[in-house]
Amino acid sequence: MAHNNIDKSNLPLKGIRVLDMGQLIAGPFAATLLGDFGAEVIKVELPGIGDNARDVGPRYKNVPLWWKVEGRNKKSITLDVRKESGQKILKRLVEISDVLIENYLPGTLEKWNLSPDELKSVNPDLVLIRVSAYGQTGPYSKRYGYDRIALAYSGILYFSGYPGETPVKPGIAWVDYTTGIFSAFAAMIALYSRDTKKGGTGQVADIALYECMFRIIEYCVPQYHFLGEIRERTGNRHPCTAPGNTYITKDNECIITACSNDRTFNRLAKVMGKEHLSGDPRFKDANTRIKNADEIEKIVQDWISQFTLKDLLKKLNEGGVPASKIFSIKDVFNDPHIQVRENILDVDDKFLGKVKMQGVVPKLSGTPGRVKSTGPELGEHNSEIYKDLLKLNQAEINLLRKGNVI
């Protein structure tokens, strides 16, 4: 098992307090990532309603499974920040916190008397992460938008899919998760700047869903700028790689491989027993192979179709050619490499017993992350936060409950 001799209590973000006011994935996933490495994450949710993520996805014994994963390592409190008394409570939490993450429609915090300026007046060292579809500024800032809307607006969806067919989105909330990563990255940059620079203070990070995807759009911007070319759909092929596709084996399994450089193609040609292809004018380098992609793809597919998946993978792996079966989640569960790498963890849950979920990424040699708890019940930590942390007395708590503030 990995990290056997490492003290996992030595968490690098211990002492950092994060207020997670987000909904669903993009904002909250950033908080989850920080929590995996020791930050104390307090999830702020509306009384009786909670994060919408609690009601999305499959259930087991009426327990939402997605929430158990993405709500992990968090404490849940209920607080109605739409009410003045709730806003006062939140400001008390802001005063003793390091990061606040929200992903409401721009202007919502301002409407609740929780604008960046108001929060800064309470705690000038606060790092405020603001996630939205189109950003806090610009003519579209007040438009609603979600994962697939941002995928379309960023330009990425346009070239995803097969020629002559409508674009196809990925099978997961790709934009939301990518935005969560950028948001956690922003939080860490801001904390580093605050804590290591002379006179450092808090700041606001304006994170737009579409911008996170636009940043990873490869070379499309200069390609259009200089060449006037619009990248089109190419199915499972990449326009800069040939051969590289999804292939069908003799036993009707799907395998994927790609030759992103000449060295890899030469190794593939050798494994295929077709070394002459390396000197063929049509295939002698990456550019010529791309121009003759249909021909080389057919040659590779015809060769692959002669072998079973097991035999084919053995040949390719031994020959130094990157390749993999296209795994289902069942395949992932049973794979020995996944197990050795601790990519699937067992986490204790009081309702479900052991819950299997994704492990912590990235893997740090000295201060690895950990998962200590699954997603909490709504308001599970009200007593701990309101009584123990904020030192509210029982009469104050009862008054807040009576007013449906908590």
Question: Which residues participate in catalysis according to the annotation?
Answer: 176
Distance between CA atoms of 25 and 36, rounded to whole angstroms? Answer: 15
The position carrying tokens 């070239």 is 159
| Helices 26-36 + 174-196 axis angle, to 10 | 50
Cα–Cα distance between 18 and 41 in angstroms, integer?
Answer: 5
What gap in Å lies between CA 106 and CA 211, rounded to an integer? 15
d(CA 12, CA 324): 35
Among 317, 325, 345, 323, smallest CA distance to 333 is for 345
Given the DSSP bridges, would you call strands 40-45 and 74-78 parallel, antiparallel or unpaired? Answer: parallel
Q: How many angstroms separate the CA atoms of 166 and 331, rounded?
A: 30
φ and ψ at 36, to 5 degrees? -60, -25
Q: Which amino acid is at 13?
A: L
Q: Are 167 and 231 in contact (CB under 8 A)?
A: no
Rounded to 5 degrees, φ, ψ at 325 are -65, 150
